[in-house]
């Protein structure tokens, strides 16, 4: 049978064109849902992981519809995003932003600019791209006014470690910039990773740590007669030296001041979120979550509190300025933790409803909007 080369070439071209058309169609659909994925439309939280991280900014429904009102951006990591038991339970109001919305709804439009596992310098760069209009495919149309409010939530538990481990800012390279136009690549990569993990989970894993060792690596935290076994706790940079803490705060300060120089009309408020180790201050040595290799597994409250005071003092000295306010609710949170847990059972690393309401109260009382 004679093969028609011309027909093969035409068919191959048609297949390629059809594939490209399909990819572009799916890509446009992803861009659409990236701007229309809020709670009001019952967007599935499970699908959020398949969207570009910046697309999560539009997920919370703060009912931003007030014209000629103040604009507020919430910047930070998973705490600012609202991770915790409320989120896992599919509660409609689960984050600091939701509780602030109840307080400021009459005259403030609130926008989320936070991603889990990130740090403030990275988030500020993404926010700057949004304000310039570079990321409108994933975050919607930018705010045109140069006068806006900005609340930075600094988390004592890992912000400094994150900047030490990687100062690489997102969307800097040419290939990463394509992610703004082609979010389908992120979706495919994420879907592949999830599928791979699901397949591997069906096969037995070699036991690296004995069951008895795993039990030892839990901390027993008691409040009154109620005790919880929780995994290694996040701390006030237990794995960093004082010199490393100072260096990372210098880096953090530099990034914030560079942003404020570009947006001199921005009203900035820095809110401090202490780690569980600082809030509960275990009486005995405890296991902490470490981020750097070749570090010990345990620390103590005296050492942790010393570093917490150092971090807070440095931030207060550098950020309680004319153009910025520093808010530290640590003592309030510690006082509440004498009587009850303010972190979740399912997610002990993040606040429960009461904890998030406490942070929202501290924010509304300490940060003034313009």
Beta strands in the chain (DSSP E): 70-76, 108-114, 149-155, 219-223, 226-230, 267-273, 286-287, 298-299, 324-327
> Minimal CA–CA distance to 140: which of 66, 73, 70, 58?
58
CB 344 within 8 A of CB 84: yes
How confident is the model at residue 207, as a pLDDT?
59
- The residue written with tokens 């569980």 in the block is 276
**3-class secondary-structure state, position 171:** coil
Q: How many residues does the chain have?
A: 370
- Tokens representing 370 are 């313009």
Beta strands in 161-281 (DSSP E): 219-223, 226-230, 267-273
User: What is the distance between the alpha carbons of residues 192 and 205, in angstroms, rounded to a whole number?
Assistant: 20
> Minimal CA–CA distance to 236: which of 318, 179, 295, 161?
161
How confident is the model at residue 172, as a pLDDT?
74
- Tokens representing 272 are 């401090």
Provide block-wise average pLDDT over 10 residues at a time, the chain (370 residues): 76 91 94 90 89 90 81 95 94 94 90 89 92 88 88 96 88 79 93 91 66 65 94 96 96 95 94 98 92 87 97 93 89 96 96 98 95
User: What is the distance between the alpha carbons of residues 193 and 254, in angstroms, rounded to a whole number?
Assistant: 35
How confident is the model at residue 213, as a pLDDT?
45
CB 289 within 8 A of CB 233: yes
Q: What is the pTM of this model?
A: 0.91
- Tokens representing 37 are 């994925």
How confident is the model at residue 248, as a pLDDT?
97
Q: Give burial (CB, 10 Å; 0-12/13-18/19+) of 212.
A: exposed
Paired residues of 114 in beta bridges? 76
Q: Give burial (CB, 10 Å; 0-12/13-18/19+) of 336.
A: middle
Neighbours of 216 (CB within 10 A): 11
Instruction: Give the chain's radius of gyration (CA, Å).
Output: 23
User: What is the distance between the alpha carbons of residues 364 and 362, in angstroms, rounded to a whole number?
Assistant: 6
């Amino acid at each position: 049978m004679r093969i028609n080369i011309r027909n093969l070439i035409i068919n191959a071209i048609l297949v390629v064109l059809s594939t490209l058309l399909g990819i572009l169609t799916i890509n446009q659909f992803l861009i659409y849902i990236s701007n229309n994925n809020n709670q009001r439309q019952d967007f599935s939280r499970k699908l959020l992981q398949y969207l570009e991280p910046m697309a999560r900014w539009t997920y919370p429904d703060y009912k931003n519809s007030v014209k000629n009102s103040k604009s507020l951006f919430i910047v930070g990591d998973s705490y600012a995003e609202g991770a915790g038991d409320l989120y896992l339970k599919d509660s409609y109001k689960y984050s600091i932003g939701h509780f602030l919305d109840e307080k400021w709804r009459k005259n403030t439009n609130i926008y989320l600019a936070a991603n889990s596992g990130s740090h403030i310098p990275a988030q500020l760069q993404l926010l700057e791209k949004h304000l310039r209009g570079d990321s409108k495919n994933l975050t919607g149309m930018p705010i045109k006014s140069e006068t806006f409010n900005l609340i930075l939530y600094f988390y004592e538990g890992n912000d400094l470690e994150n900047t030490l481990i990687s100062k690489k800012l997102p969307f800097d390279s040419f290939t990463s910039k394509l992610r703004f136009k082609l979010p389908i690549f992120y979706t495919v990569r994420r879907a592949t990773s999830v599928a791979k993990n699901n397949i591997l989970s069906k096969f037995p894993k070699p036991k690296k740590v004995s069951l008895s060792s795993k039990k030892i690596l839990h901390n027993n935290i008691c409040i009154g007669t109620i005790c919880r076994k929780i995994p290694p706790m996040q701390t006030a940079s237990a794995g960093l030296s004082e010199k490393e803490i100072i260096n990372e705060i210098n880096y953090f300060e530099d990034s914030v001041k560079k942003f404020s120089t570009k947006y001199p009309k921005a009203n900035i408020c820095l809110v401090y979120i202490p780690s569980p180790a600082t809030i509960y201050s275990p009486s005995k040595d405890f296991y902490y979550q470490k981020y750097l290799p070749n570090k010990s597994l345990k620390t103590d409250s005296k050492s942790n509190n010393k570093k917490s005071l150092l971090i807070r003092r440095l931030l207060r000295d550098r950020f309680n300025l004319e153009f910025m306010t520093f808010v530290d609710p640590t003592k309030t949170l510690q006082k509440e933790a004498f009587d009850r847990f303010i972190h979740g059972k399912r997610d002990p690393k993040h606040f429960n409803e009461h904890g998030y309401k406490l942070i929202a109260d501290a924010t509304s009382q300490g940060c003034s909007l313009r």
